[in-house]
Structure 1
Amino acid sequence: MNAKVNRWQVLIASTAVLLCTGAVYAFSVFAGPLSVEKGWTMTEIMLAFTINAAIGPIPMIFGGFLTDKGLAKWAIVIGGVLFGLGFLLTGFVTSTGMLYLTYGLIGGFGQGLAYSGCLSNTIKLFPDKKGLASGIITAGMGGAAIIAAPIGNYFIENNDVFYAFRSLGIAYIIVIVIASFFIKTAPANYVPEGFTPPEMMRGGKMINKNWKQMLRSPYFYLIFFMLCTGAFSGLMIASNASVIGQQMFGLSAGTAAFYVSLYSLSNCAGRVLWGTVSDKLGRNKTLNIILSVIIAALIVLTVLSSQLGFAIGIIALGLCFGGVMGVFPPIVMENYGPVNQGVNYGIVFIGYSTAAFFAPRVAVSMASASGGSFTNAFYVAIVVACIGLVLNICYSQMKKAKAKEIVEA
């Protein structure tokens, strides 16, 4: 079905929304000042971030359901406003319980809802450039902290942390409301002029599977664990980059902070870079490269103790973490069609949440047991990436066998 819709306008507006909601990843900028202002421990404060991340799959699936029912704009607007409201209300908290409610629950639910709506709706408009569209959209989420961190820090230094939350919350709501006027719901089975999606056509009919059919598919479990293993190393580094730089490579706090920003920038760039590459080479070949680079980067971190080694490892892992996040939405759509992409990807995204739960804990636990060294954690991440590489090879072989059956039939 073709309809008059400016898909690039929708892509830009949706990315603007995620440049707001992705500010959740700049929480470390606010955590320290919150501790100083209120006397709360960092453990108490970081629980708000944990809650925010933990509830992610729930709004992702719900937002996907709304998107698949043609209500993507509602999911994006409601989710975006809820996120901004969560930020705004955090500027008035007086207890950790309130912090968990505003930043953790309200902000987390809003972020997941908006992310699901933006990603699933936009990728349906780009069946010919799924990797590129997914990369740009997820880059908005991944790169938001690059903008939010310095602005938030400026507000904190010139006023206080609560003023920063209130100001950013209001700004986010305004930007999201304005962006919503340019977001249109993707028409059902949208196909741009001159493009035929061969991977989803059987006898001239487009194949779409719902979540129940997806769960019965042998590909689902491979895709699920591939996302989990692919995201593992990136999440491990994202949560510990500054500590790793200081404890293992002797960097100052300021220099380590610079590399944290560099990691975020690499993460953002990697989503567009690898998404585009995957449109050219295919998802499987691209994942093979990404996972191989992850393994090489982790080896560099274990072998080289210089700042150069840290820089190489951080940049490579950031690019690859971004690549993983940009490649998997197209993989889900190519296997199960665009009609139920929202719910289907929301369920697959639980694989990411699983990695988010285990990776930071494994890293911190092993570092504590090794006097602050993350070397053993890097070894674990290498093994996990190797498992992901094997799973991707199995997935590729299964797809080739299936394609051969179809041709012979």
Structure 2
Amino acid sequence: MSNVKNRWLIALSGVGIHISIGSVYAWSVFTKPLMAELNLSYTEVSLTFSIAILFLGLSAAFLGHFVEKFGPRVSGTMASLFFGIGIAGAGLAVHLQSLLLLYFFYGVVAGIGLGLGYITPVSTLVKWFPDRRGLATGLAIMGFGFASMIASPIIARLIEGVGIPLTFAILGGTYFIIIFSSAQYLSPPPKDWVPAGFKEKAKTASNRIKVDLSQLTANEAVKTKRFWMLWIMLFINISCGIAILAVASPMAQEIAGLSTVAAATMVGLIGIFNGLGRLGWATFSDYIGRPNTYTAFFAIQMVLFFLLPNMTHFLLFQIVVFLIITCYGGGFSSIPAYIGDMFGTKQLGAIHGYMLTAWAAAGLTGPIFSSWIRETTGSYQGTLMIFAGMFAIALTVSLLIRLEIRSLEQKRLQKEAV
């Protein structure tokens, strides 16, 4: 046992990877400087971010099997190369005044690094923390949520001091070093390894650790109803959350009368609550169970989205938005543990990759759908009412999936009785 790696350092390595790739959420800092530097429209610059999120989802889906086959050290090293080259290459694109190269390097190449880096530590952490799955994945994915808060002021300073091309080059080199170094410590636990006291704790009736409902491959998992139930729940949670993120500032000014500066401050605080929600909800899910956690997400947000158009008091409005954002972040961090509970850890990385196609789809449709409703109805009220209805659908699915869980538990008990 003395040669077994420290699982908390494994978790710290996961945080290192996620806090690097999560800097993609600081993209808005580049928006105005790039518009001025390359004479681009807002839409042209924003498309770079959308392409990156699209390739995050696609690469996570298609490279999940790569992670399982070659292990987290190899896949993490590959992520460092793709992400580092992609970010540094964006600097070359700006230097050459090429929008297409910017799309290719930041959108496609860095986007692949994003997807690979996102799923690499997660399946490993679930295996190292069978007793605290939510806490472990919450720690890593919290890094993704907090990253923009850390990266934004640094990027702004660099752009002001050395210009956009060199800023991308410095960031690319820095992120490569952090991700590469973090990946070298990542490895799955030894066969049949469990943390000290785990077996005794699992047998204690008052504090029983549930056995995984099944052990499926990724290709087997996608053929089940429960996979698509989880996909729908994640898609709705991300679609509505990302739409709120996209319009948080103008919506706060229109509904609650916040000034431009106050709305900008609120947007900055959103990053904190996004990160706290990822850790808090995922940890809480270890105690109340993943099904109850997701039901809570949708019940809370259904009510809050319904009330939000009438939250004209500036403080109440912000409290409601922050609570919504914790649920948005918590959806990301709780899903890997939910996947482990439902499908086991045999190919968790690949299954998680398939599940993240919901993120790619939501990243494209959420903000566009929100903007379309806003332009059609002339206010945010219609948008928020439709989102409340979507959460009612997600709430229903979160209750229906319990029938699947109950059926699987009964089958497992029948097998054990034979």
Conservation of the 8 A alpha-carbon contact between 2:79 and 2:114: yes
Conservation of the 8 A alpha-carbon contact between 1:29 and 1:149: yes
Conservation of the 8 A alpha-carbon contact between 1:64 and 1:120: no
SS in 1 for 2:129: coil
- Over 3 Å counting, the alpha-carbon distance change for 1:59 and 1:304 in structure 2 is same
Instruction: Name 2:361's counterpart in structure 1.
Output: 354
Deviation at 1:190, TM superposition (A): 4.4
Whole-Å separation in 2 of the counterparts to 1:385 and 1:283: 17
Counterpart check, 1:105 vs 2:108: yes
Whole-Å separation in 2 of the counterparts to 1:242 and 1:184: 42
Instruction: Name 1:131's counterpart in structure 2.
Output: 134
SS in 1 for 2:293: helix
Structure 1 letter corresponding to 2:386:
V
Instruction: Name 2:117's counterpart in structure 1.
Output: 114
SS in 2 for 1:338: coil
Instruction: Name 2:195's counterpart in structure 1.
Output: 192
Instruction: Name 2:206's counterpart in structure 1.
Output: none
SS in 1 for 2:197: coil
Conservation of the 8 A alpha-carbon contact between 1:226 and 1:388: yes
Counterpart check, 1:145 vs 2:148: yes
Deviation at 1:405, TM superposition (A): 4.4
Whole-Å separation in 2 of the counterparts to 1:129 and 1:305: 40
Instruction: Name 2:83's counterpart in structure 1.
Output: 83
309, 312, 315: which one aligns with 2:316: 309
Instruction: Name 1:33's counterpart in structure 2.
Output: 33
Q: Give 1:256-271 correspondences, 5 Å limit.
A: 256-271=263-278
Instruction: Name 1:71's counterpart in structure 2.
Output: 71
Conservation of the 8 A alpha-carbon contact between 2:277 and 2:328: yes
339, 344, 358: which one aligns with 1:337: 344
Conservation of the 8 A alpha-carbon contact between 2:255 and 2:309: no
Bigger shift: residues 53-62 or 397-406: 397-406
SS in 2 for 1:250: coil
Deviation at 1:398, TM superposition (A): 2.6
Counterpart check, 1:161 vs 2:168: no
Q: Deviations over 1:119-144 (max 9, x none)?
A: 22222211111111111111111111
Conservation of the 8 A alpha-carbon contact between 2:218 and 2:348: no
Conservation of the 8 A alpha-carbon contact between 2:82 and 2:110: yes
Bigger shift: residues 247-256 or 284-293: 247-256
156, 170, 173: which one aligns with 1:170: 173
Instruction: Name 1:280's counterpart in structure 2.
Output: 287
SS in 1 for 2:92: coil
Conservation of the 8 A alpha-carbon contact between 2:125 and 2:133: no
SS in 2 for 1:395: helix
Instruction: Name 1:396's counterpart in structure 2.
Output: 402
Conservation of the 8 A alpha-carbon contact between 1:62 and 1:113: no
Whole-Å separation in 2 of the counterparts to 1:2 and 1:228: 43
Conservation of the 8 A alpha-carbon contact between 1:71 and 1:185: yes
Task: Return the TM-score normalized by structure 2.
Answer: 0.91
SS in 2 for 1:40: coil
Deviation at 1:351, TM superposition (A): 2.0
Instruction: Name 1:375's counterpart in structure 2.
Output: 381
Instruction: Name 2:9's counterpart in structure 1.
Output: 9
Conservation of the 8 A alpha-carbon contact between 1:61 and 1:342: no
Bigger shift: residues 104-113 or 190-199: 190-199
Whole-Å separation in 2 of the counterparts to 1:43 and 1:229: 24
Whole-Å separation in 1 of the counterparts to 2:374 and 2:99: 28
CA RMSD in angstroms, aligned pairs only: 2.1
Conservation of the 8 A alpha-carbon contact between 1:86 and 1:103: yes
Instruction: Name 2:306's counterpart in structure 1.
Output: 299
Deviation at 1:274, TM superposition (A): 0.6
Structure 2: tracts of 5 or more residues without a match: 203-208
Whole-Å separation in 2 of the counterparts to 1:386 and 1:59: 31
Deviation at 1:189, TM superposition (A): 5.5
Bigger shift: residues 64-73 or 332-341: 64-73
Conservation of the 8 A alpha-carbon contact between 1:80 and 1:111: no
Counterpart check, 1:387 vs 2:393: yes
Q: Deviations over 1:39-93 (max 9, x none)?
A: 1111111111111111223321344212212421111121123212211121121
Conservation of the 8 A alpha-carbon contact between 2:66 and 2:75: yes
Between the two proteins, the alignment pairs up a number of residues equal to: 404
- Over 3 Å counting, the alpha-carbon distance change for 1:253 and 1:91 in structure 2 is farther
Bigger shift: residues 97-106 or 258-267: 258-267
Instruction: Name 1:240's counterpart in structure 2.
Output: 247
Instruction: Name 2:58's counterpart in structure 1.
Output: 58
Conservation of the 8 A alpha-carbon contact between 2:79 and 2:113: yes
Structure 2 letter corresponding to 1:140:
G
Whole-Å separation in 2 of the counterparts to 1:188 and 1:43: 50
Whole-Å separation in 2 of the counterparts to 1:325 and 1:288: 14
Conservation of the 8 A alpha-carbon contact between 1:131 and 1:330: yes
Bigger shift: residues 58-67 or 32-41: 58-67
Whole-Å separation in 2 of the counterparts to 1:7 and 1:99: 38
Conservation of the 8 A alpha-carbon contact between 1:88 and 1:170: yes
Instruction: Name 1:19's counterpart in structure 2.
Output: 19
Conservation of the 8 A alpha-carbon contact between 1:300 and 1:312: no
- Over 3 Å counting, the alpha-carbon distance change for 1:407 and 1:141 in structure 2 is same
Task: Return the TM-score normalized by structure 1.
Answer: 0.93
Deviation at 1:2, TM superposition (A): 11
Q: Deviations over 1:175-201 (max 9, x none)?
A: 223323332334456432332576446
